[in-house]
Every structure is written in C-alpha cells, then in structure tokens.
Amino acid sequence: MTDAEIQEQYGDLLAQGRLKEIMEQMREAGQIEEGNTLPDNIRVIFRNALNAIWNQPSSDGKPANEPAPVSARLRKRQEELRDGLQCKVDLYNRSEGHLDEADGIDCPMCRNKGLIEEVRNDRRFYSIMVECECMKLRRSWKALQKRQPVGIRQKLSLDSFAVSEDWQVRIRQRAERYVQDSSGWLYIGGAPGCGKTHICSAICREFLRQNLRVRYMDWPKEVILFKAKVLEDEHDSRIQELTEWDVLYIDDFLGAEGETDPDGEPVDEDVKVAREVIEACSRSGKRVVISSGWLLDELRGLDKDMGDRICERGRGYTLQVAREKGRDYRALSEEQEEELC
Ligand SMILES: [Zn+2]
C-alpha cells in the first residue's frame, strides 16, 4: 500500500493512535500478511502518528503529557526509561567529590562535586547537570583568598577568622553562638576589609554541615536582574525563590559596588528591591545572613521600616564594625547595638 492509500483509508484511526485496529483491518483485507513484520513505510507512518499524538498540545496550550489511552504501552516504556535514568542519576549524586579538600566547604547536597544531576521530562526523559548552589560560596571564598599572600591562604572556617583584636574575638564568638541557635537572622555591617564576608561565609559553611540548604546571593550582581524591566514578569517569582531555601546569605547588601546616586547612596530602585526582599524573607520565617557596607542606623536612614525589620529579626546577632581612621575597626558594644534596635 502506498502512504497516500494508508492515509486515505486509515487516517481517522491513525489520528486516534488505534494502531492495533488498523493492523487487524489490514490483515483482514490482506493488505499485510499474518505474522510478518510490518513494511517499513507502515512502520514510519505508525511512528509519526504516535509522535503526533504525544506532541499534541492539550486544551490549556501545554504539551499533552497524558497521551491517548492506546499509547499505554508507550507510556510504560517511557516510565521504564525514566526509572533506569533515575538509577543512574542517583548513583552519580551519591558519589563523593573532593572540592572540600581545597576550600573546606563540605556540601551535603552535591557531596563536594559541585554538580547535581537531575532528571527532566520534556516529552521525553533526559538528565542534565546543574551547578550546586555551594559553588557560589566556593567562588566567593576563592576570590577572597586570591587577595591573600599565597602562604596564608586558608580553608574556610570560623576558626580561620583572625582574632588578634578584641572586637574580632567578639564577632567570632557571636558567630559561633549564632550557628548553634535554631533561628534568627545575623547582620554584620561596616567597613570593607574587616572580615564580613569571611565570617558570613564561615557561618554558611556551618549551616551546610548541618544539612541546611543555603542560597548565596551576590547582591550587586543579582539586584540588576530584579530591576530589569524586561524581566518584570519574573520579579515576584525571583523574590519568592529567595525564600525557598533554609538559609539566604546576602553578600554586600546594598553594596557600594552597586548603583549609587551622586551622594554615594543606593538608588531608590535598589532600596525598593531591598525592602521587598527583606519583607518576603521576614514573612517566610527562614534564616537570613547579611553582610553589608552599611551600619544599621544608616540603613534606617535609607528605609526606616527595613532597618527596623532587620534589627527585630537579628536581635542578638547584629554585628557592626565602626569605621575608624586607617584600617582600624572596632565592634559596637552590645549596649550600643541594643540602643540601635
Ligand atoms: Zn554543593
């Protein structure tokens, strides 16, 4: 039979995927022989018919994941493929990597490989590699270490935070207490170079060790996405995503490296995004660790409600390093911090 003849005679049945019926009718009519394999052209037509059904959009415009009932066998085959794929993926995800040997960051999610394999379903099952969230923390730490002379490059930990000054001892003690605590936020504000990123990264390292999922947010880079007009429709889901982790670490919050107005203050748009992020995180009840170049009263000057919210959530863990001449820093005393909050 030619393709055109098949289409003419069996077009309706093909569109419904009723291949078995077509074959029975073909046998009865002597168009194909009993027991023999199907001619190639018929096989191609059958395969195309099934593909067409599989790819048919459903009424809501999405591709139909539920094919016609007759393709149950096809679906079963797909499920088998998926299960096989999942086994392979699980095997990879359970294997151990060695990234922690270089930076001291022990990530239970990727087991220190930096990659997680996931099974996706887009009309067919396949697997892809996605970068683990810990890689951002690793890169941030690596960048920080690059600024150090080779001889004193270290692995990330709370212990590797220098404590030659009293204020440094107090910051480390407070960070150690914070990681033992079961809730609350931590805010560390103040001059660049006083170890804010180190202490916050070390806190996140401890959280990872506690099996918590940590999201690293590089504020100056990411805030651009939140403000982009072309990404406006993704804005709410972007904010929402930040609240879906156990811990959110915002590095360089409202950072000086971001956009600033002529007075050196963040532009209103940045402050608006900051307020939205802080409010959403506050509602979610998740933990937030913030490092920022701003002291809390300065933050209040930018947006009082936002500053108050951080104070309220970060009670007991609001660390500030005042700017002094030269490269000397001092932590504000607890009484001063209480006053601020
Ligand atoms: Zn990881």
Give distance in angstroms: CA of 246 to centre of ligand 1: 14
What topology does CATH give the domain 134-340?
Rossmann fold (3.40.50)
Backbone angles phi, psi at 131, to 5 degrees: -75, 135
- pLDDT value of residue 68: 52
Ligand 1 centroid to residue 319 C-alpha, Å: 28
| pTM for the whole structure | 0.69
Q: What is the pLDDT of residues 81-106, one digit of tens each?
A: 889 999 999 999 999 999 999 999 99
CA of 98 to the centre of ligand 1 (A): 11
Measured distance CA(276)–CA(262) in Å, rounded:
24
Distance 4 CA to ligand 1 centre (A): 56
Count CB-CB contacts under 10 A for residue 18. 18
Give the pLDDT of residue 54.
64
Tell me the domain boundaries of the chain: 3-55, 69-131, 134-340
Strand ranges for 124-199 from DSSP E = 125-131, 186-190
Contact 307, 300 (CB under 8 A): yes
Q: How far is the CA of 290 from the centre of ligand 1 (A)?
A: 20
What CA–CA distances, in Å, run from 268 to 62, 201, 242, 254, 280? 39, 28, 21, 11, 18
What stretches in the chain show pLDDT beneath 50?
58, 67, 257-258, 326-328
Long-range CB contacts (within 8 A, 24+) of 95-100: 99/138
Closest by CA to 227, choosing from 269, 268, 280, is 269
Model pLDDT, residue 248: 96
Residue-wise DSSP of 211-227:
T--EEEEEHHHHHHHHH
Q: How far is the CA of 131 from the centre of ligand 1 (A)?
A: 8
Interstrand relation of 125-131 and 115-121 (parallel, antiparallel or unpaired): antiparallel
Q: Name the residue type at position 220.
A: P
Question: How many angstroms is it from 231 CA to the middle of ligand 1?
Answer: 28
pLDDT of residue 199: 92
